[in-house]
Amino acid sequence: MRKLIDQISMQQSRIVDLEEDKKRQDEEYGQMKALVQDLQLKGLQRRMDKIQTPVAAVVIMACNRADYLERTIKSILKYQNAVASKYPLFVSQDGSDPQVREKALSYDQLTHMQHLDSKPVQTERPGELIAYYKIAHDMEIAPDFFDYFEAAAALMEKDKTIMAVSSWNDNGQKQFVHDPEILYRSDFFPGLGWMLTKSTWNELSPKWPKAYWDDWLRLQENHKGRQFIRPEVCRTYNFGEHGSSLGQFFRQYLEPIKLNDVQVDWKSKDLSYLMEDEYIKHFAEILKNAKPINGADAVLKASNVQGDVRVHYKDQPDFERIARQFGVFQEWKDGVPRTAYKGVVVFRYPPPRRVFLVGPKSFELLGIKSV
């Protein structure tokens, strides 16, 4: 009798699991059906069939801040209307916040997708943050945002050593930038508004964790020597003081970011200097021409020198000490300082003068003999 009771209990538990699976499948079917209907109603396919060739989908990841979502959508639509067929707009909503859903569905210019997961999220590593519910939709874009990414997309197609293109510069605060037309290669993934090729996403998506959307970690860990393109002056602005970082560094590093306000004609720009073979020579030449500064008081010395300067650091603590003097990001991730290329971090101080913080192996990596 006891065995029979145990068997009945196990069967009942199995029935509950099957019912939950069916419920989840019904929800997923409903979402797919709603998405298809939404695409049909809005005539997305007709828009994409026009003369303009699609470049990339623009995806806004949203969760539970309808006011942030509205501000982001309005910023994008301000510049997207003229290129809508090239850049179809989507809102990807995690969770079931009714205000976010209502706000997204109130715009005919975009397609809303909703993700519901009734199973508890399992982390992949000890200490991983379950933060999918904190995904912020708190970005405004620059007037040349779409032109910039279209030009960069063509560059990515030519140079497979470029893993992603970002609209962000961690040291893009007003006091550290000057030229809106300058782009850099970086060994550090900038994040906060970025573009991947489909092939790169196909490579990364199986490795992407379900527990959280940590774009920096996954791209930085899997770049395999490939690099990233970033602008000197940011093409996105993060206004979310209470977003996914819970306000961390907001006042010091995010609030003073300079959002580009110049309409750069990227179609007329020659970006071939950013190709891998060309860029290492291009960057090395600029660095060689910068005047070396030694000893303490780097800020004072840099201010009294005409033209670009370079300051050499010995190791991470030394870098942090020097970066602290200037007020730029001191943080390292995966052994790389933020914004660094071959160990070199560049910023303006004061503009237009460039300051290069040069690592102990940077000259060797750039093929520069001691100067």
| CB 72 within 8 Å of CB 93 | no
Alpha-carbon gap, residue 214 to 35, rounded angstroms: 26
For the chain, count helices (H), then strands (E).
Answer: 11, 15
Identify each DSSP E strand in 40-105 by its residue range: 58-62, 89-94
Alpha-carbon gap, residue 62 to 68, rounded angstroms: 9
| CB 109 within 8 Å of CB 89 | yes
| Of 258, 97, 58, nearest in space to 173 by CA | 258
Using CA atoms, how far residue 61 sits from 135, 181, 224, 329, 350, in Å, is 7, 28, 26, 26, 36
Non-local (6+) Cβ contacts of 237 within 8 A are 139, 140, 141, 142, 257, 259
Q: How many CB atoms lie within 10 A of CB 2?
A: 6
Sign of CA dihedral 340, 344, 348, 352: negative
Active site positions, annotated: 214
The structure tokens listed for 249 are 């560094």
| CB 124 within 8 Å of CB 209 | yes
The structure tokens listed for 99 are 């205000």
What pairing do the DSSP bridges indicate for beta strands 162-166 and 110-115? Answer: unpaired
